[in-house]
Amino acid sequence: MEQKTQHAHSDNAPAQTLSFTTKAVHSGEEVDLREGATGDVVAAIHLATTYARSKVGEPGRYEYARLQNPTREALEVKLAALENARYGLAFSSGLAAETTLLLSLLKAGDSILAFDDLYGGTKRLLDQVFTSFGIETSYVDATNALLVENAVKPSTKMVWIESPTNPLLKLADIRAIANVARRHGLILVVDNTFLSPYFQRPLDLGADVVVHSLTKYLGGHSDVLGGALLVNNQQLYERLQLHQNSTGAVLPPFDSYLTLRGLKTLALRMEQHGKNALEVARFLEGHHKVGRVLYPGLESHPQHELAKAQASGFGGVLSFDVKGTAADAERFLERLKIFTLAESLGGVESLIELPAVMTHASVEKAEREKIGITDTLIRASVGIEDVADLIADLKQALA
């Protein structure tokens, strides 16, 4: 009986006519005022691993924590509502979500067509883990949908993109690539971690699956590890849910609660991240010790118009080159006082790192340089602090 499917979907959530901020607060956590109910205004943390039944052959709504948990279900409903998805699944990490997705939908002999600029952990998973299962990945500059179409092979089953990418902030025309995928019968996966559903909703643009690292903007406070998959297709959802249950890559109740709590302020945080990042990007663009600045909100970004067309904001992540050597870049990073030298992104605090030796160290040097990840490229996750303090910190470290 354990293999039965439980649907974590937004059908019972507030109507889609509600605004994003209202859904972020209420979806999945509607107050139960029926007789005997507690009337909790936030989802309770349910720690039980198993659930009682009154008859041997008739389990209740919940059966076993790996299959479903009330706190995790509340989170999955909220995530689905925010991404305009029918179904959501929450995982123990972003890479656990990606692994489950790949195991669920691909087999030996299949191949993936991916953006040439991806999160280093995703590339490591594709190139060093799934090759042993007979699943190959080829990479293409997905800023051009025609290049994607020309790279499709008979074995291609999936297209995998980030938009914006990590760490070069390149964009893919999601709608155009969705059309390519549809023509060839491919599954389009979009990692939406950098913009969050507040700024961009890939399912509305034609994607089949949206991936999130909940660790980043959705959790928002650098205190929870998690991942998510969002889909509209019921058959696809049921297949993913079966594999999640079978492999056990589920988000624990307390982590689900922390993510629920973080999501309530997502809209407020994303607005501040975006405003601060744009000001920081403009400051850096005018500094004589800084080379290229990569941020879709800048008019100098080659895909600035696409960014405005398919998203409602530009996010809080930017990258830039410090003029000089790798040692100069390291000295700059180590002089910062407010920006914290650390991997990850999307927290309320500003984080900064050197991709070549940190987040993308697992990517071969020749490959990094080929796509533009230099030894002096710095990635910053601009937080919600006072932007004048952030700029002053950058200024003194560059001096």
Q: Which of 263, 290, 324 is the last residue of a domain?
A: 263
Rounded Cα distance between 39 and 123, Å, is 45
- Catalytic residue set: 66, 119, 191, 216
Rounded Cα distance between 308 and 7, Å, is 34
Tell me, yes or no, whether 1 lies in a domain: no
Indicate if 203 and 322 belong to the same structural domain: no
Position 179 scores a pLDDT of 98
Indicate if 242 and 334 belong to the same structural domain: no
Q: What is the CATH number of the domain that holds 99?
A: 3.40.640.10
User: Which residues does the chain have with pLDDT short of 70?
Assistant: 1-16
Determine contact, residues 198/177, Cβ cutoff 8 Å. no
Length in residues, the chain? 399
Q: Which of 244, 263, 282 is the last residue of a domain?
A: 263
Position 1 scores a pLDDT of 38
Position 367 scores a pLDDT of 83
Element (H, E) at 228: strand 227-231
Angle between helices 94-105 and 234-247 (to 10 degrees): 110
Position 14 scores a pLDDT of 38
Position 315 scores a pLDDT of 98
Comparing C-alpha atoms, which of 44, 81, 48, 78 is closest to residue 66? 48
The whole-model pTM stands at: 0.94
Indicate if 30 and 177 belong to the same structural domain: yes
Tell me, yes or no, whether 54 lies in a domain: yes
Q: What is the CATH number of the domain that holds 381?
A: 3.90.1150.10
Task: Enter the tokens of residue 391.
Answer: 């700029």
Helices (H), 264-386: 266-285, 304-310, 326-335, 365-371
Indicate if 229 and 293 belong to the same structural domain: no
Determine contact, residues 236/54, Cβ cutoff 8 Å. no
Rounded Cα distance between 89 and 72, Å, is 9
Comparing C-alpha atoms, which of 221, 350, 379 is closest to residue 273? 350
Position 36 scores a pLDDT of 85
Determine contact, residues 53/40, Cβ cutoff 8 Å. no
Position 307 scores a pLDDT of 98
> What are the residues whose beta carbons fall under 8 Å from the beta carbon of 269, sequence distance 6 or more?
217, 220, 348, 384
Indicate if 77 and 160 belong to the same structural domain: yes
Domain boundaries, position 375:
266-398
Comparing C-alpha atoms, which of 339, 316, 213 is closest to residue 269? 316
Q: Which of 263, 279, 311 is the last residue of a domain?
A: 263
Tell me, yes or no, whether 7 lies in a domain: no
Indicate if 225 and 284 belong to the same structural domain: no
Position 10 scores a pLDDT of 54
